[in-house]
Amino acid sequence: MDSDYGMPALFIRKIESRAHIDDADRAAIASLPSKLRTVSPSTYLLREGQTPVRCGMVLEGFAFRQKLTADGNREIVSVLIPGDFIDLQNLYLAQADHDVQALTRLTIAEFSLVSLRDLAHDRPAVRRALWVDCLIESSIYREWLLNIGRRPAPARLAHLLCEFHIRLQAAGLGTDAGYELPMTQEQLGDAVGLTSVHVNRVLKTLERQGLIRRAGRHIDVTDWERLQSAAHFNKRYLHLDQIAPTPA
């Protein structure tokens, strides 16, 4: 029921990447009551239609947001990595409009919505960081819309791989050389609006062209330049430079 482990370190790191905060802000975050929870793959953390009373952050592992059509087709609209908020939108929206599901074995920190609202109310800098986080999420949605709506399958998948590469590096996971991507090809397809069969063929093409190499669920980025240009990837939409680096 208290702060330890990845929380509040990851929380503070996330907030610091979104706004300048001071020691009082850090103290307020550190004293935010939180509860660790570990769940197995496929566990639902949130279901469409629910009225949640808690909000969580991914500490270890991966999760994803999904929406389903009435006839059962799935679209994965976000992939959550360590440091990402699971359901910040529930801070002020009464009803969940999508599901969140664990992709891997997952450790999360949970806070009550009330205490998080209080934190946002009392600490303007933290509030701003949370808001910025929501805005960046919006920006990523816009880029995904462009990706799915207007890029052919090879560029679309290459773009997704580029995004993971950058985001995982920014989160301190993965290296220049590559990263773990614990998604099945069916899930990849659901994230970019393709079928798993086509994902398989396109990935093999990217591999044959020497842009990536795959080993199980590990992606080696063998030619970052060409991978980016195949995707027409530009990381601006991730707003990583949102604030100036904190002074020494």
Partner DNA sequence: CGGATTATTGAAAAGCCTCAAGAGTAGTGG
Partner DNA sequence: CCACTACTCTTGAGGCTTTTCAATAATCCG
The set of residues, in sequence order, having a beta carbon less than 8 Å from that of 246 and lying 6+ positions away, is: 16, 20
| 80 is a site residue for a second copy (CB under 8 A) | no
How many whole angstroms separate alpha carbon 180 and alpha carbon 221? 11
Count of residues that interact with a second copy, criterion CB under 8 A? 52
Least Cα distance to 122 among 245, 21, 224, 231 occurs for 21
Q: Which does 245 bind (CB under 5 to 8 A by kind): DNA, a second copy, none?
A: none
Q: What value, to the nearest 5°, has the Cα angle with vertex 179 and ends 81 and 104?
A: 45
Closest C-alpha to 24, from 119, 129, 130: 119
Q: Which two tokens stand for residue 233?
A: 């990837």
Q: Does 47 bind a second copy (CB under 8 A)?
A: no
Q: Of residues 138, 195, 232, 234, which one binds DNA by CB under 7 A?
A: 195
Pick the binder of DNA from 194, 206, 230, 231 (CB under 7 A).
194
Read off the amino acid at residue 175: T
The answer to the question of residue 234 lying near DNA (CB under 7 A) is no
| Angstrom distances, CA of residue 68 to CA of 24, 72, 189, 190, 195 | 42, 6, 14, 10, 15
Contact 100, 45 (CB under 8 A): yes
Using CA of residue 47, residue 53, residue 137, residue 145, what is the dihedral sign?
positive
CA separation for the pair 248, 239 (Å, rounded): 22
Q: Which residue in 65, 123, 165, 167 binds a second copy (CB under 8 A)?
A: 65
Only one of the segments 139-147, 151-159, 172-180, 238-246 lies at the binding site for DNA (rule: CB under 7 A); that segment is 151-159
Total residues binding DNA (CB under 7 A):
21
Residue 217 binds which of a second copy, DNA, none (CB < 5-8 A, kind-dependent): DNA
Q: Nearest distance from residue 31's CB to a second copy, in Å?
A: 21
Q: Which stretch binds a second copy (CB under 8 A): 23-31, 53-61, 121-129, 206-214?
A: 121-129
Tokens of 18: 């979104």
The residue ranges that bind DNA (CB under 7 A) are 152-154, 184-186, 189, 193-198, 200-204, 214, 216-217
The residue ranges that bind a second copy (CB under 8 A) are 48-49, 65, 67-71, 73-75, 77, 89, 91-95, 97-98, 121, 124, 128, 131-132, 134-139, 141-146, 148-151, 155, 190, 192-193, 232, 234, 236-237, 239, 241-242
